[in-house]
Amino acid sequence: MHIVTGAESAAQNIVKCVQRCGLEVEDIVLEQLASAFAVLTDDEKELGVCLVDVGGGTTDIAVFSGGAIRHTAVIPVAGDQVTNDIAVSMRTPTPYAEEIKIPLRLRALAARESRRDHRGALGRRPASRRLARQTLAEIVEPRYEELFMLIRDELRRSGFEESVAAGVVLTGGSAKMEGAVELAEEIFHMPVRLGSPSGVTGLGDVVKNPIHATGVGLLLYGRANAGQPAPKIVGDGMKSVFGADEVLVPGVFLT
């Protein structure tokens, strides 16, 4: 049994926000579990895989092996820290720092870009400042190295480092940084791929983006568990996420 605990007040706040939008909450799902529904294959879960969802405020980790989730962790370092590093180092407002973050290449790929300038994203008058891409990469790369080393240390601490035969799957909006996969492979010393949501049609070109992994995963999770009894979400928040004898996903119990 893998037990995940969390602050009840945080869950209640999420439920309140949704209810104030005129919607009802049917279930609360662990973020890593939702993302896994969107980006991991059954073969990866069976062989052993480490899912790393690099969001804005936190990086969420989940280890799967034998088809079930075995370990979860949350690291309070993610994309917002990268944006802040750019904003502080370049003395530019946060919105401009965010604008140039994703198209940036880390140094693994930036050497060929060293003579290119990044124009139009710094300061109030975009055309007034020019900055080499490699200079920006040298600001961002140490933060990504720190993050990946924290993930590696957590994986080792969990005791499952040797069990992830399928390697690491990076997802989330901040995992889109060019060169992040190559840098992660250097640090983890195992295969790393970028996970994009699958199993969706219609607006596939739009939602097949790592930034939507959790959202798409929530939809897939809801479809997969459509026939299950809904947990009771009452009053100001969550009284019981799962019934006393109900476990919707093998190996997971949220309390």
- Amino acid sitting at position 237: G
pLDDT tens-digit readout, 230-254: 665 544 444 444 443 333 344 444 4
- Position 3 in a domain: yes
Q: Is 74 helix (H, G, I), strand (E, B) or coil?
A: strand
Q: How confident is the model at residue 92 (pLDDT cuts 50, 70, 90)?
A: confident
- What is the tally of structural domains in the chain? 2
pLDDT tens-digit readout, 184-243: 999 999 999 999 998 777 777 778 889 999 999 998 998 888 767 666 554 444 444 444
Decide the pairing of beta strands 59-65 and 49-54.
Answer: antiparallel
Last-in-domain residue among 119, 137, 155: 137
Q: What is the DSSP string of 37-77?
A: HHH--HHHHHH-EEEEEE-SS-EEEEEEETTEEEEEEEES-
The whole-angstrom separation of Cα 20 and Cα 91 is: 38
**Closest residue by Cα to residue 167 from 159, 155, 150, 179:** 155
Decide the pairing of beta strands 59-65 and 168-171.
Answer: unpaired
- Position 143 in a domain: no
Give percent of the chain above pLDDT 70: 76
- Position 121 in a domain: yes
- Position 232 in a domain: yes
Q: Which domain holds residue 90?
A: 79-137
**pTM score:** 0.78
- Residues 188, 146: contact at Cβ < 8 Å? no
CA distances from 51 to 40, 62, 112, 198, 252 (A): 8, 5, 30, 15, 16
The whole-angstrom separation of Cα 32 and Cα 62 is: 6
Task: Quote the tokens at residue 207.
Answer: 């939602």
pLDDT tens-digit readout, 15-32: 999 999 999 998 889 999
Give percent of the chain above pLDDT 90: 46
**Closest residue by Cα to residue 187 from 170, 204, 174, 172:** 170
pLDDT over 90 (residue 46): yes
The whole-angstrom separation of Cα 50 and Cα 132 is: 34
Instruction: Look at residue 161 in the predicted model and tell me its pLDDT.
Output: 92
- Residues 81, 56: contact at Cβ < 8 Å? no
Last-in-domain residue among 120, 137, 154: 137
pLDDT tens-digit readout, 157-178: 999 999 999 999 999 988 988 8
- Position 96 in a domain: yes
The whole-angstrom separation of Cα 158 and Cα 103 is: 33
Instruction: Look at residue 229 in the predicted model and tell me its pLDDT.
Output: 66
- Position 64 in a domain: no
- Position 239 in a domain: yes
Last-in-domain residue among 137, 161, 187: 137
